[in-house]
């Protein structure tokens, strides 16, 4: 079931899948560091050992009337490492929505199957004793909680509950989805810097058209590949088979530019621009624009890949993904581009998470 | 200066010469000869995408936020075939590297992009006004220069891709030799520079690449601008004639040493002795076939005085201002260099013009044969000197070409006056005789004719018996010409006396 090299949908997530889940989740959000890795993975592994593997179900396999809820972590990753979860945050957040709506959720699904938010739905499902849906709302991570396929499909984000590690919680109900994120952000600091979020309560029938299918098993498969530590060229070929990713170019980092353009407050303190001199091929100059993630790659000034594409760097010498805070001049990297789920290339999706939302007023290379 | 307002579009290089772009930092300037037909103030990339080729783009606001936006602007400019991108200061080294890679000119400005774009638009709209401004600035820079090399330096830095050289004859005196090389797609622009008396002195030559439409016209007007400065600089060097003379003398000394050193090392191939660059700085030409001229005083009187040298120089250089004149121990040296060794017309002309002065100063002129290069010049010089000695026989202003001298030149070296003094002592009887002149000439004629009385009488135009009578009388007075032991000595003596007396009879200046 968890054999190495297995590609395809999987039926459950057990202890042995935890590391792969974590690695795969990292691939889909390369900006995040490894600060809370050990505590989270051992917590999840312990739960799975105690409660047994969590069944992973395709949305179509569920009764359409099954009430479902999504969970994720909001706030800062370093706060999560500083103030680790007590353990009941996710369960408690879900129970509050159940009490409010008078339903009993029959399944949990990830709001975004990436970063630690890919692990916590497994935690919640294990604690609640319900199956986990093999689907999510983003297929990677985006900055705001209404940047989801559910929102695009008209599923309301609220009622939502944010439960902090200190036992306090916030319940939010809004009329317009973008307001939810603003209200939530105002409270996250007070809740402890991070919070467990339960949102988008709906049914499996709605999720059949509103969620992105197969994303959880995909990250497990990606994670298995990444754990194998193979030659970068082979790795990219194999990753391509699962994720459709391809290499933009391989080159050496020659320059890190800070704040190449006026920033707004939501941009974290990452270097905002990275220049890579292509070592093979045409010897192009690759300019990589960073926000909280890689949002665009320019080759000799021409835009070749951009959000909502998932862009990441593979450290060639180590054969592993390079996180954005580990970059330094001289490193040899492969620039990988992975297409996002199709919904993000629709006009609505592009408006929501495209380059324009990062302050780069250029058309996506696929649209030109 | 010519005033011909040009309607050709202004080039990037021209714009970069004047404000506001003159103060811009040129991160990378790919091709200054690119025409600029329009200025686009690009606030968005959409605007940049609509820019027509040959538009200079000034980035502003959204398009000028640096980092990726500059990279994108450079790429779009490359796609649209724009001559340059003007951006606010603060570009990273990576942007410079990209500009270089795309061969796209990138200029960085501190001023407000809107102001800059407006001023540029004005300049592009009326290229003549911008050019006039550039010429005014250029004239200011020229005014700072007093030397010929400095002026050529300013010209070359102003014209950048167009090499300029100053030519005297065919020799490059200053500037870049590339200006002389003919090549495909290169137009040659020439402006004549006149010396004193409106005589042609030199030419300014520029090689204009053909791709710059209208560039030739602009280059020509700049060359015209440089002309008065060049004339002034040239006059300046000539004004200080004693320095110039010393300079020439020293340079010639070096040149001579160069030739000698080379010949010490073995047989000299003229092509092997490189012409030193400082010789062309003086306007000298020594590369081609050189024909030397030796101006010598009729009576050797030691080293010529500075004042005399000055007068001779003025007279000699009246017709050929660039020909050198170097004072030597017993005369003055000059030479004419030409690619055609048989080309003597300029020299004949010069000597014809100098004749009156030569007569006035009591000079004779010797001319050597044409020989190649520096060693050739030295050889020609020795020939000219010999010819000058021979010329002394002919009196003041006489000209002797070495080609026509041959072995009799040896006689020119005889110290006639000293030998004549010997006669006074050894042949007192003869010297005291009233008919000594006829006696000496008769003996000389007989000796010249190898003892043939009939030939001698024919040459002298007297009867054979007269010759016989004179010979008998001469023998009595000590001219024992038929004594084999004394024949050579007496022959030389007679030659000396005859030459001396002939010379003293000829009118003195």
pLDDT tens for residues A174-198? 999 989 989 998 899 999 889 999 9
Residue whose C-alpha is closest to residue A212's, from A343, A25, A351: A343
Q: How far is B13 from chain A (nearest CA, A)?
A: 25
CB contact B71 to A (< 8 Å): yes
Give the SS3 label for residue A69: strand
pLDDT digits (tens, 9 = 90+) for B48-82: 888 888 888 888 877 777 678 888 889 999 998 89
Q: How far is B94 from chain A (nearest CA, A)?
A: 7
Beta strand segments in A245-299, E: 246-257, 273-278, 285-290, 294-299
Cβ–Cβ under 8 Å, residues A360 and B68? yes
pLDDT above 90 covers what percent of chain B? 0
ipTM exceeding cut-off 0.95 for this assembly: no
Classify residue B8 as exposed, middle or buried by CB count within 10 Å of its CB (0-12, 13-18, 19+): middle
CB contact B357 to A (< 8 Å): no
Assign 3-state DSSP to chain B and report helix, strand, coil percentages, each to 5: 55, 20, 30
What pTM was computed for the model? Answer: 0.62
> Which pair of structure tokens corresponds to residue A200?
């988008």
pLDDT digits (tens, 9 = 90+) for B220-256: 888 888 888 888 877 776 666 667 777 777 888 888 8
Q: Please state the rounded mean pLDDT for residues B372-387.
A: 84
Do the chains contact at A287 and B73, CB–CB below 8 Å? no
CB contact B98 to A (< 8 Å): yes
pLDDT digits (tens, 9 = 90+) for B319-376: 666 678 888 777 888 888 888 878 888 888 888 888 887 887 788 888 888 888 888 8
Q: Which site among A260, A272, A299, A306 would you substitute to test the B interface, given the most B Cβ atoms closer than 10 Å to its Cβ?
A: A260
Do the chains contact at A301 and B76, CB–CB below 8 Å? yes
Mean pLDDT, chain A, as a whole number? 87
Do the chains contact at B68 and A260, CB–CB below 8 Å? yes
Cβ–Cβ under 8 Å, residues A224 and A4? yes
pLDDT of residue A179: 92
Residues of B in contact with A298 (CB under 8 A): 68, 71-72, 75
Cβ–Cβ under 8 Å, residues A203 and A67? yes
Residue whose C-alpha is closest to residue B56's, from B81, B75, B33: B81
Q: How far is B86 from chain A (nearest CA, A)?
A: 16
What distances in angstroms separate CA B372 from CA A327, B252, B289, B291, B403, one per listed residue? Answer: 70, 16, 4, 9, 16
Q: Which of A275, A300, A361 lies at the smallest CB-CB distance from B102?
A: A300
pLDDT digits (tens, 9 = 90+) for B279-292: 666 667 777 888 88
Residues of A in contact with B47 (CB under 8 A): none
pLDDT digits (tens, 9 = 90+) for A84-126: 888 899 999 999 999 999 999 999 999 998 888 899 999 999 9
Do the chains contact at A360 and B102, CB–CB below 8 Å? no
Q: Which site among B71, B73, B95, B98 would you substitute to test the A interface, given the most A Cβ atoms closer than 10 Å to its Cβ?
A: B71
Whether the per-residue pLDDT at B396 is higher than 50: the answer is: yes
pLDDT digits (tens, 9 = 90+) for A270-312: 547 889 999 988 899 999 988 778 889 999 989 999 988 999 8
Cβ–Cβ under 8 Å, residues A332 and A316? yes
Residues A27/A28/A34/A37 CA torsion (nearest 10 deg): -100
Whether the per-residue pLDDT at B34 is higher than 80: the answer is: yes
CA dist., res. A34 & res. A23, Å (int): 10
Cβ–Cβ under 8 Å, residues B285 and B168? yes
CA dist., res. B293 & res. B366, Å (int): 6
Assign 3-state DSSP to chain A and report helix, strand, coil percentages, each to 5: 35, 25, 40
Q: Which of A275, A302, A361 lies at the smallest CB-CB distance from B94?
A: A275
- Give the helix/strand (H/E) hosting B8: none
> Which pair of structure tokens corresponds to residue B223?
């060359």
Residues of A in contact with B63 (CB under 8 A): none
Cβ–Cβ under 8 Å, residues A290 and A256? no
CB contact B305 to A (< 8 Å): no
Q: Which residues contact B259 (CB under 8 A, 6 or more apart)?
A: B268, B273, B374, B375, B377, B378
CA dist., res. B204 & res. B189, Å (int): 8
pLDDT of residue A92: 94
Checking DSSP bridges between strand B55-59 and strand B84-88, what pairing results, if any?
parallel
Say how many residues make up chain B.
509
Nearest residue in chain A measured CA to CA from B67: A260
Radius of gyration of chain A (CA): 20
pLDDT of residue A95: 94
Residue whose C-alpha is closest to residue A118's, from A133, A99, A98, A102: A133
Residues of B in contact with A285 (CB under 8 A): 71, 94, 97-98, 101
Q: How far is B109 from chain A (nearest CA, A)?
A: 17
Q: Which of B75, B92, B93 lies at the smallest CB-CB distance from A300?
A: B75
The position carrying tokens 């029938």 is A205
CB contact B76 to A (< 8 Å): yes
CA dist., res. A20 & res. A177, Å (int): 33
Checking DSSP bridges between strand B363-372 and strand B399-401, what pairing results, if any?
parallel
Whether omega before B20 lies within 30 degrees of 0, making that bond cis, reads yes
> Which pair of structure tokens corresponds to residue B394?
């002919």
Do the chains contact at A260 and B98, CB–CB below 8 Å? no
Helix axes B453-460, B436-448, angle to 10 degrees: 130
pLDDT digits (tens, 9 = 90+) for B10-20: 888 878 888 88
Q: How far is B178 from chain A (nearest CA, A)?
A: 34
What distances in angstroms separate CA B471 from CA A365, B439, B440, B494, one per listed residue? Answer: 121, 7, 9, 13
């Amino acid at each position: 079931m968890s054999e190495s090299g297995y590609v395809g949908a999987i039926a459950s997530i057990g202890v042995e899948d935890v590391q792969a889940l974590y690695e795969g989740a990292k691939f889909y959000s390369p900006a995040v560091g490894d600060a809370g890795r050990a505590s989270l993975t051992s917590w999840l592994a312990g739960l799975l050992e105690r409660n047994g593997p969590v069944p992973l179900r395709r949305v179509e396999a569920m009764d359409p009337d099954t009430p479902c809820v999504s969970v994720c972590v909001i706030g800062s990753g370093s706060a999560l490492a500083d103030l680790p979860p007590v353990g009941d945050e996710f369960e408690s957040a879900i129970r509050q929505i159940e009490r409010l709506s008078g339903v009993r959720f029959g399944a949990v699904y990830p709001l975004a199957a990436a970063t630690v938010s890919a692990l916590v739905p497994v935690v919640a499902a294990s604690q609640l004793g319900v199956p986990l849906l093999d689907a999510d709302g983003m297929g990677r991570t985006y900055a705001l909680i209404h940047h989801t396929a559910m929102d695009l499909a008209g599923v309301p984000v609220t009622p939502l509950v944010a439960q902090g590690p200190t036992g306090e919680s916030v319940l939010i109900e809004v009329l317009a989805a973008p307001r939810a994120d603003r209200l939530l952000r105002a409270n996250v600091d007070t809740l402890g810097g991070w919070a467990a979020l339960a949102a988008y309560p709906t049914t499996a029938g709605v999720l059949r058209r509103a969620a992105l299918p197969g994303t959880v098993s995909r990250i497990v498969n990606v994670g298995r590949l990444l754990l194998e530590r193979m030659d970068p060229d082979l790795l990219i070929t194999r990753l391509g088979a699962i994720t459709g990713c391809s290499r933009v170019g391989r080159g050496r980092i020659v320059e890190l530019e800070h704040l190449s353009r006026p920033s707004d407050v939501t941009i974290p303190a990452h270097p905002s621009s990275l220049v890579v001199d292509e070592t093979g091929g045409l010897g192009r100059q690759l300019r990589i624009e960073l926000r909280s993630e890689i949002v665009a790659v320019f080759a000799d000034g021409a835009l070749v890949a951009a959000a909502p594409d998932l862009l990441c760097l593979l450290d060639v010498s180590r054969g592993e993904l390079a996180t954005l805070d580990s970059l330094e001049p001289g490193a040899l990297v492969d620039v990988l581009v992975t297409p996002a789920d199709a919904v993000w290339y629709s006009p609505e999706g592009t408006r929501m998470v495209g380059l324009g939302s990062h302050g780069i007023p250029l058309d996506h290379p696929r649209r030109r | 200066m010519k005033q011909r307002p040009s309607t050709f579009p202004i080039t990037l290089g021209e714009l970069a010469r004047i404000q506001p772009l003159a103060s811009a930092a040129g991160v990378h300037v790919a091709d200054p000869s690119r025409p600029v037909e329009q200025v686009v103030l690009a606030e968005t990339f959409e605007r940049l995408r609509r820019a027509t080729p040959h538009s200079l783009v000034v980035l502003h606001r959204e398009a000028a936020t640096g980092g990726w936006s500059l990279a994108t602007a450079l790429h779009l400019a490359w796609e649209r075939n724009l001559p340059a991108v003007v951006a606010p200061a603060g570009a990273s080294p990576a942007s410079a590297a990209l500009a270089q890679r795309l061969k796209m000119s990138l200029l960085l400005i501190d001023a407000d992009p809107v102001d800059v774009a407006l001023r540029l638009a004005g300049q592009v709209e009326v290229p003549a006004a911008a050019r006039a401004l550039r010429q005014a600035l250029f004239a200011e820079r020229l005014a700072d220069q007093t030397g010929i090399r400095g002026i050529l330096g300013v010209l070359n830095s102003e014209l950048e891709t167009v090499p300029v050289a100053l030519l005297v004859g065919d020799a490059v005196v200053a500037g870049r030799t590339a200006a002389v090389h003919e090549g495909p797609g290169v137009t040659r622009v020439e402006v004549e520079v006149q010396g004193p008396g409106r005589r042609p002195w030199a030419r300014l030559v520029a090689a204009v690449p053909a791709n710059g439409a209208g560039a030739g016209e602009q280059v020509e007007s700049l060359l015209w601008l440089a002309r008065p400065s060049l004339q002034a600089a040239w006059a300046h060097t000539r004004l200080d004639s004693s320095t110039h003379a010393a300079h020439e003398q020293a340079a010639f000394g070096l040149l001579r040493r160069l030739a000698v050193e080379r010949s010490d090392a073995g047989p000299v191939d003229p092509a092997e002795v490189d012409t030193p660059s400082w010789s062309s700085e003086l306007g000298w030409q020594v590369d081609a076939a050189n024909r030397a001229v030796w101006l010598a005083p009729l009576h050797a009187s030691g080293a010529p005085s500075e004042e005399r040298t000055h007068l001779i120089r003025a007279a000699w250089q009246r017709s050929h201002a660039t020909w050198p004149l170097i004072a030597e121990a017993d005369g003055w040296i000059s030479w004419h260099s030409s690619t055609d060794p048989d080309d003597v017309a300029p020299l004949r002309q010069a000597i014809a013009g100098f004749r009156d002065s030569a007569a006035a100063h009591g000079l004779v002129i010797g001319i050597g044969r044409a020989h190649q290069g520096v060693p050739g010049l030295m050889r020609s010089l020795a020939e000219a000197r010999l010819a000058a000695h021979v010329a002394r026989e002919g009196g003041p202003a006489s000209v002797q070409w070495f080609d026509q001298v041959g072995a009799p030149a040896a006689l020119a070296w005889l110290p006639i006056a000293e030998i004549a003094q010997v006669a006074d002592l050894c042949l007192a009887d003869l010297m005291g005789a009233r008919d000594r002149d006829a006696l000496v000439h008769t003996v000389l004629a007989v000796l010249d004719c190898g003892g043939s009385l009939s030939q001698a009488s024919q040459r002298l135009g007297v009867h054979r018996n007269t010759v016989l009578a004179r010979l008998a009388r001469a023998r009595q007075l000590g001219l024992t010409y038929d004594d084999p032991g004394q024949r050579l000595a007496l022959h030389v003596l007679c030659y000396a006396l005859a030459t001396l007396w002939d010379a003293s009879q000829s009118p003195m200046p």
